Structure 1
């Protein structure tokens, strides 16, 4: 190849990378504009939803009762002084300590017991007993990145007490003893059906159980996964795949666990119980054929009880749906922005080498 041909090739390559650089720069500018627009729309909708809550909940007896119940649950968790959940709640209540670790701030959703409310003390007690203290104190993370940030290990496989959550605990004179459960939302197999139409809580559209004669068992109330109440923040939360907490976390925890009024009614429904059942008077079937007998056991951490949650208007439900959809769009655009930025950096590096 002649010198002139080589120089022409260099000029052609440089021109090609200039065009690619310009294209990726334009794409990045467009995507950033889209992301900003979606962010503003989400903020406007959330402010609108916040005004609704201020007008209809704040200052009411029910609102105060629910807030008090949630605070009691947080206090129950904090009493578990040597637990990862107790340390996590303490850190979140102390903003400076919490914000000092970006990975925790970004990826941890919360502790299972703090992510939902229920309609009665009886339901709170039986659901908490069914899950057990260890699961009630489980830390929920969005991704593997969050799980990995919680704990680091030495070369021999032992937990490094100076890093991760253990390290944060040590820095403030608190320690985590023993094992604890961490749940990664992106690994869970979600519910694949739809939602109950126009339901403000986005309840799962599960078919009612049926006895061999085709009737719904007497005393059946609902599935446990549909008897939890999510507040506005947790209801609008979505994963990178556009899924909410009910169809991921709580479906994973409860599956198709059935709730009955009494033990007698629950036992009468045995032919249609597969994933277990509970009764409000203390009956418990873990799985088909596995019965939990004996007296009730008080669990140290319970779900907070919602005080008279009122039905939400249709426009509120539609606004919540729009927030979920826009958040999902935001996640997808953020991924596109990261990819375009990488391509832009690559084109820029190659252009510098050719000039």
Structure 2
């Protein structure tokens, strides 16, 4: 009878116990480094979140500073014009007179009817439906800007009639059965009644059929300006020289700010948005060239540069158009107390400096944490290359007890039954 043999259980094997004693510190060190790496990941996320928040705060302050700068600029421009004994009424009168001088145009005829025959014209359905002429429906706070915007639109648009409804547009011109213009009706007929004969085509805008601005309006602004996304560089700032969008630089009378369409829209959301869209205004031509990647719907500059939405530049000397927007030298869009505006701007600039310091500090901390993260990650990866408990155990031989079910300590092959 073969003698029985005894094998030490694996978990009590001295070789395994010795191996575990050697590997245990390595495992503990690995887990510690793994936890530290997770903590550093949370710190990275924390600092990145802080930087993102500070950037949003800086963008908001930058927006406020730009708006305050525009208002201050408008105020100073208006004050300078007032010093030259010029008034809004005189500027508006010159615009109307320039239209009256073009007495063979539809705008000239309608304008003369409203000026010289106001009582009669106010009772005519055709004239009542005409809100006005583009050149008379908006004002700006600077004569140079007036000239540039007028040149950008061109005479056809500046002299365009603006009707409230599509029925009003239809009544402006009638046709015979053969398709010829009936010169005894519409604007043609009105011209004949005052001895004026319409020559050539004319442009008409219909507020009822216009596609209004689909974004939001700043209801807190007395001029109900459109909320448009300013062009931004990677650092969140607007391109150098950017002033504003042309559509928001038009000053409107209170009666034209809302309620002109069934949906309650005013001239800014309808007429002037269709004319200018996202046209940007810059200080110089050089500013436009540097900001080209951020310009989609054209741009103009105060030194005479014009970039059309199709990407073409207008070169040469600018035109001195006969009809321009009137220059507004007062109104609700101008600040009453200039010192308050300047104090606000100064406070915002201080806030901006403080936020920039906070951002620099956060960026330095983020850089330090990222460097430490990279270093500890490298150490963690190095520790993975060292022998582990599993790897060492895999290399040890396996010894089984003869009593273990299924064991065959003698390596004998079972005989095949015949």
TM-score, normalising length: structure 1: 0.68
Matching of residue 136 in structure 1 with residue 158 in structure 2: yes
- Cα distance in structure 2, aligned partners of 1:109 and 1:79: 20
Q: Please tell me whether the aligned partners of residues 260 and 278 of structure 1 are also in contact (alpha carbons under 8 angstroms).
A: yes
Q: 1:65 aligns with which of 83, 87, 98?
A: 87
- Cα distance in structure 1, aligned partners of 2:155 and 2:278: 21
Find the counterpart in structure 2 of residue 192 from structure 1. Answer: 214
- Cα distance in structure 1, aligned partners of 2:327 and 2:333: 16
Find the counterpart in structure 2 of residue 203 from structure 1. Answer: 225
Find the counterpart in structure 2 of residue 157 from structure 1. Answer: 179
Matching of residue 95 in structure 1 with residue 118 in structure 2: yes
Find the counterpart in structure 1 of residue 248 from structure 2. Answer: 226
**Structure 1: where are the runs of 5+ without partners?**
1-60, 314-355
More deviation in 304-313 or 227-236? 304-313
- Cα distance in structure 2, aligned partners of 1:75 and 1:296: 22
Q: Please tell me whether the aligned partners of residues 143 and 185 of structure 1 are also in contact (alpha carbons under 8 angstroms).
A: yes
Indicate the SS of the match to 2:95. Answer: helix
Q: 1:168 to 1:310 in 2, by over 3 A?
A: closer
Deviations 1:40-84 (A, max 9, x none): xxxxxxxxxxxxxxxxxxxxx699711111111000111111000
Q: 1:125 aligns with which of 137, 147, 150?
A: 147
Matching of residue 258 in structure 1 with residue 272 in structure 2: no
Q: 1:225 to 1:288 in 2, by over 3 A?
A: same
Q: What is the deviation of 1:152? A: 0.4
Indicate the SS of the match to 1:155. Answer: coil
- Cα distance in structure 2, aligned partners of 1:151 and 1:241: 27
Higher helix share: 1
Q: What is the deviation of 1:101? A: 1.8
Q: Please tell me whether the aligned partners of residues 117 and 306 of structure 1 are also in contact (alpha carbons under 8 angstroms).
A: yes
RMSD of Structure 2 on Structure 1 (CA): 2.0
Q: Please tell me whether the aligned partners of residues 164 and 260 of structure 2 are also in contact (alpha carbons under 8 angstroms).
A: no
Indicate the SS of the match to 1:199. Answer: coil
Q: 2:239 aligns with which of 195, 217, 239?
A: 217
**Structure 2: where are the runs of 5+ without partners?**
1-81, 336-418
Q: 1:287 to 1:122 in 2, by over 3 A?
A: same
- Cα distance in structure 2, aligned partners of 1:148 and 1:78: 24
Q: 2:318 aligns with which of 279, 286, 296?
A: 296
Q: What is the deviation of 1:238? A: 2.0
Find the counterpart in structure 2 of residue 239 from structure 1. Answer: 261
Q: 2:290 aligns with which of 268, 273, 276?
A: 268
- Cα distance in structure 2, aligned partners of 1:184 and 1:163: 20
Q: Please tell me whether the aligned partners of residues 124 and 304 of structure 1 are also in contact (alpha carbons under 8 angstroms).
A: yes
More deviation in 93-102 or 276-285? 93-102
- Cα distance in structure 2, aligned partners of 1:228 and 1:297: 20
Indicate the SS of the match to 1:68. Answer: helix
- Cα distance in structure 1, aligned partners of 2:242 and 2:250: 16
Deviations 1:96-137 (A, max 9, x none): 4413422321x1110000001001011000000000011000
- Cα distance in structure 2, aligned partners of 1:129 and 1:212: 33
How do 1:331-350 and structure 2 match up within 5 A?
A: none
Q: What is the deviation of 1:218? A: 0.7
Q: 1:111 aligns with which of 119, 133, 158?
A: 133
Find the counterpart in structure 2 of residue 307 from structure 1. Answer: 329
Q: Please tell me whether the aligned partners of residues 211 and 271 of structure 1 are also in contact (alpha carbons under 8 angstroms).
A: no
Q: Please tell me whether the aligned partners of residues 211 and 269 of structure 1 are also in contact (alpha carbons under 8 angstroms).
A: no
Q: Please tell me whether the aligned partners of residues 203 and 226 of structure 1 are also in contact (alpha carbons under 8 angstroms).
A: yes
Find the counterpart in structure 1 of residue 189 from structure 2. Answer: 167
Q: What is the deviation of 1:242? A: 1.0
Q: What is the deviation of 1:198? A: 1.0
Indicate the SS of the match to 1:287. Answer: coil
Matching of residue 80 in structure 1 with residue 80 in structure 2: no
Q: What is the deviation of 1:308? A: 4.0
Q: What is the deviation of 1:156? A: 1.4
Indicate the SS of the match to 2:88. Answer: helix
Deviations 1:294-315 (A, max 9, x none): 11011110000011445479xx
